[in-house]
Every structure is written in C-alpha cells, then in structure tokens.
Amino acid sequence: MFLSCLCVRLVMKTDDDAFVNMFSLMPRLHTVAVAGVSSKTSSSTLSTSSSSMLLLCNVWRKVLVGRSGKWRIDKSVWRYDHWPTFCQGIAFIMTMDFVASAYQTVHRVPRLWLDDVSLTQYWTTLLSAFV
C-alpha cells in the first residue's frame, strides 16, 4: 500500500487555508528528530507509542461540545458535554508508520463530520499514542 512512500519520514496534514512557516518548523522538527524522545509543552504534545511512531499536534483537552452555532452537535450525535482529548485538525505531523497504522484503522472510526475529533481522538486512543 505505502510502497512508494517508504523513504518518507514525516507527513504533514494541513487544512487548505492554513499557513505553515517552514523556516520555523524545520529546525523544530530537527530538534525532535535528534532528541528521539517524546516531549510535552503547554500547547502541543509529541506522542509516541513506540520508538518511531509519532503524532505531533496541538492537543485540545476538555473542550466543550458546541450546542449552537456553526459547529453545533446535537445530543443525539454526541451525548457528552465535553469532547475527548483530540488533535486540532488545522495541522498535524506524523511518521509514516503512524500513517500506515492510522490508515488500517480508518474503517473503524465512528462517522462524525468533525474530523478533528473523530479521527485523531480515535487514532490516539486506538494506538495508545498519547504519553
């Protein structure tokens, strides 16, 4: 499946309206690669469930579920008042082994139109990626 991507070390997913400052990002990624360990800051988590499987993202915790407005979710869709921990969907960076594992699990993801919550929360739970 991912045979043509074997030499790729990292994959970045961004929204089409996101700006990425590559001159700032690349030195940070180099630091992560050299360190080879998981680290946490106040706004992001580098998550690992093995020595190489990584998901780097802006982590949202204890976010209230919106019941009105553009992003509203009815109680029949999600009965809880808070979302589980998830990655903000505007951008995240993954290693290829994480991408391959996530791809294998995508058919098990409950259908929810908020992909930030449904995909990344499910992947990180399934893969035990948060440390």
In a domain, 93, yes or no: yes
Q: Kindly report the number of other CB atoms within 10 A of residue 24's CB atom.
A: 8
Question: Which pLDDT belongs to residue 1?
Answer: 56
In a domain, 107, yes or no: yes
Backbone angles phi, psi at 61, to 5 degrees: -125, 145
pLDDT tens column, 45-74: 444 444 477 888 888 889 999 999 988 899
| Total domains present in the chain | 1
Listed as ranges, residues in the chain with pLDDT below 50 are: 37-43, 45-51, 129-131
In a domain, 2, yes or no: no
In a domain, 1, yes or no: no
In a domain, 3, yes or no: no
Question: Which pLDDT belongs to residue 124?
Answer: 63
> 74 lies in which domain range?
8-126
Q: Which two tokens stand for residue 77?
A: 């869709």
Question: Which pLDDT belongs to residue 19?
Answer: 95
Q: Give 70's DSSP letter.
A: T
In a domain, 61, yes or no: yes
Question: Which pLDDT belongs to residue 105?
Answer: 75
| 88 three-class SS | strand
In a domain, 25, yes or no: yes
CA 6 from centre of chain: 21
In a domain, 101, yes or no: yes
Question: Which pLDDT belongs to residue 84?
Answer: 83
